[in-house]
Structure formats: structure tokens, C-alpha cells
Amino acid sequence: MKKTNNKIVLYLVAIGLFSPIFFQLASGVFYSDDYNYSSLGKLTLLPIPFSIIICYSALIYFRKFIEVRESLLVLFFTVITMVFATVILSLKEDSYNLSKFVLLLQFVLPMFALVVGQQYGSKVEAMNILGVVFFCILAAIVPLQLLSTITSSSEVLSPSIFIFSIYQHLQYVPVIFVSMFLFVIFISDQIPKIRRLIPVLAILMGVYAGLSASLLAISLLVTLPLGYILYKCIRNDKCFFAINTFFMIILGLSIFIAYTTVPELLRSKFIDPNESVTQDAGVPVNVTARVFYWKFYFSNIFSNTSSLFLGHLETPNRNIYPSAHNYYLDFIYNFGALALLPLLGLISYTALKTIQKMHYIWQKPELLCLVLIIFFLLFIDNSLKVGLRQPYPGIVSFFMWGVLLAFITDKKRLPNSYPNAEDNFHHIEN
């Protein structure tokens, strides 16, 4: 009975963390037809994901913190150095900036999901449960969101799924949803009950990614299934399912192209409302804008030693510089390079452990997919956006990173030494 109850808890935690349901302090469950919703700086109007409540509840429920010391150490030293940098700057400039502490909270809140993810990943059933939950969430939300888009005669993905709206549905959520779908593909061999429905979902995901106009989501949705086909061929596994799923994705993207006016959609995606950004000839505005922001943040980070190591007390003018469009630049600008060192250390540690245990990771497609997703989020997605400090995508990203850590640091699951024969691995699996 206890094992059954634990399994139910794992399902509930996964559903709560990955479901993009938001609420507002002023009005309850978030609902808005605005494609670029803004809270206007008001806390009561800010959409807050339910995943925050689930994350901190799970943190208390799982306990066993001794088993997740890597995550806890990184979290501890990151928070300490961020607070240290903020306090030192406040004393140095003899001023107090409340917005800086609010920003600190925004960076730190999602990081606790790293600990929860490592706790969660230590459970034997974790991977299969995540696969089932990911499929169910996508199968429930994506068709409704597409139906909402069609009924509103919009050529851009609607934020509404009738009963609630998804916050940041164009900028951040598509990459997360595509990542979840790719994980479902890679783990499908272990969950035959959902395998037959994946090609149908693949068509819907192709349409969904296209309507989101997220180039990162589209690129990920196309490249990783191609990699899955290659993976199957190298292992001499049957690859019909992988090839069929890939063509269903392409079919979905083709339906999107037939449905919408592509040039208009891309033009709306590339137009930056910030008048301070001047477009270079032949260069998309979103690329020019990013270069503009990066130059500002780079020049201010390296303006003096204090800025480099401790950051800045004052945040940039959000009307001109709404974001660095790079998580790491944003982090260093606000809290300094010292505060980022623990996270950079964890990234290096994750990469090293992954390389050491690649032989075993290669044998488990769902784990290989998780590795690819995490490194995509860390090195590509967050080099172009600031998803790790956004409540929903940040919690999801740190959680999946924690799940990966649980596997690559567990010697019972993935031993350190490379085996001399395949029998060693099968013995571990059994």
C-alpha cells in the first residue's frame, strides 16, 4: 500500500510541476486573450505557476537531503554569494534597492526545483512516470490550444485553452512542450500503451510548434527525432516507428504552412517594439535586438572589477533593456561572476559525469534524450533567453536537470567504470 501511495505522489508531483496552469493573487486562475500579457509591474496581476506550490511541497515531502548534496551545495553557495554581492553593493553605495532583492528572489525560486528533481529522479519509477505524465499533459492541452487558435481565426498560437490561459505561451512554453514530447518519443519502447498514439500527437505538435513561431522549438522538434532515427540505425534497432514519427512531425509542420500566412507570422515574430534598436540591413530584428542588448550588458559587466565580480545594484531601464536575452549575462550583470560560479561548476560537473558514463547512457534512450534536452536548455535556449529565471520554464528546466543528476551520480544505476562486456550492463539492469 505504501509503495502504491508513493507512486501516486510521484504522478501528482509530475502533473503539478509540468502543467502550465497559472493563478493571480487578484483573480485566481489566470485567463487572458492577450498574446503579450503584461502585469504592469503589479504583483497581484502577475501570473504565478501552480508548479511553485508543488515544487516546495515536494521539497518537504521527499526529504532525504543527504542523497541530493550536489544540488543543495550549489543552491546554498549560489544564494549566499548572491545575497553577499547585493549587501556589499548596498553598503558600498550607501543605498537600498528593493527591486534588486525582488530580482534575487526571481532568480532563486526556480533553483529549488533542482533539489526536488534529484530527489524525484532517485525513485525507480521516475522515468516511466514522467513519460506517461508528459504524454497526458500534451494530449490534453495541445489539441485544446490548437482548437482555441482555429476558432479565434488567429494565425498565431492562442494563449487560451478555454478554461485557463498559458502565460508566456509563445516565448518559453513551446520549447518546454517540445522537450516533453521528445522525451515521450525516446521512452516510448517502455510504455507500449501510449506508443500507438504518439504519431497522432506528433502531427499536433508539428502544427503547435509552427503556430508558436518559436524557431528554437521548431529546430528542436525536427533535429532530435532525426537524431533518434540515427540512434536506432546505429544500434540496429527497428526504426520504422522513429521514421514514421518524424514524418508525422513534418506533416504537422506542413499543415501549419498551409493554414497560415508564413511571411506575416515570421514578420510579427521578428519585429521588436523597442524603438531604440535599429535594424541592420538584411538582419532579422530579433537578431539585431539581441546583439544590441548583449553589447550593453557586456560593456557594463566589464566596466570595472566591482561590476564583474559583484554585479550592479541598479537594474537596467526595462523600457530600453527589458532583458539581456541571455541568462548568464543577466545573472552576472545583476549579481556578479562570483555568484554564477556554483552554477557553472554544476554545469561542468554534469558534463564530466555525462562523459564518464556515456556508455551506459547510450543504452537508455530516455536518459540520452534527457541529456540532450538539458544541454540544449543550458547552452542554447538560455544563451538566447532567460528561461532559467522564469517561474514555469525555470522550475521545469531545473527539475529535469535534477532528475539527470540523480541518474549520473547514482553508482548503483550507472557505475563509474566502463564494462568489458555487455553482460555487466544487463546484470545492472536486472
377-380 long-range contacts, CB within 8 A, separation 24+: 377/175, 377/179, 377/401, 378/347, 380/216
Q: What is the pLDDT of residue 358?
A: 94
How far, in Å, CA of 428 to CA of 430, rounded? Answer: 5
Per-residue pLDDT 10s for the chain (430 aa) are: 556 668 999 999 999 999 999 999 888 999 998 888 888 777 788 899 999 999 999 998 987 787 888 899 999 999 999 999 999 988 877 666 778 888 899 999 999 999 999 999 999 899 999 999 999 999 999 999 999 999 998 888 999 999 999 999 998 999 999 999 999 999 999 999 899 999 999 999 999 999 998 999 999 999 999 999 999 999 999 899 999 999 999 999 999 988 876 555 555 555 544 444 555 544 556 777 788 899 999 999 999 999 999 999 888 887 788 888 999 999 999 999 999 999 999 999 999 999 999 999 999 999 999 999 999 999 999 999 999 999 999 999 999 999 999 999 987 777 764 444 333 334 333 3
Cβ-proximal residues to 255 (8 Å cutoff; 6+ apart), any chain: 203, 206, 207
Question: Which one, of 397, 422, 98, lies nearest residue 235 by Cα?
Answer: 422
Domain boundaries, the chain: 64-122+291-430
318's torsion region: left (phi>0), alpha (psi -120 to 50) or beta? alpha
Q: What is the pLDDT of residue 50?
A: 95
State the greatest distance between any 2 C-alpha atoms of the chain, in Å, as a whole number.
Answer: 67
- Cell of residue 324, nine digits: 539581456
Sheet holding 28-29, edge to edge: 28-29, 22-24, 48-49
Question: Which one, of 231, 202, 170, 244, lies nearest residue 358 by Cα?
Answer: 231
DSSP letter for each residue of 122-183? TSTTHHHHHHHHHHHHHHHHHHHHHHHHHHTT-SS--SB-SS-B-TTTTTTHHHHHHHHHHH
Q: What is the pTM of this model?
A: 0.92
Q: What is the pLDDT of residue 417?
A: 47
What single DSSP character describes residue 382?
A: H
40's torsion region: left (phi>0), alpha (psi -120 to 50) or beta? left
**Cβ(193)–Cβ(238) below 8 Å:** no
Only one residue has cell 556554483, namely 342
What single DSSP character describes residue 47?
A: -
How far, in Å, CA of 167 to CA of 23, rounded? Answer: 10
How far, in Å, CA of 393 to CA of 17, rounded? Answer: 10
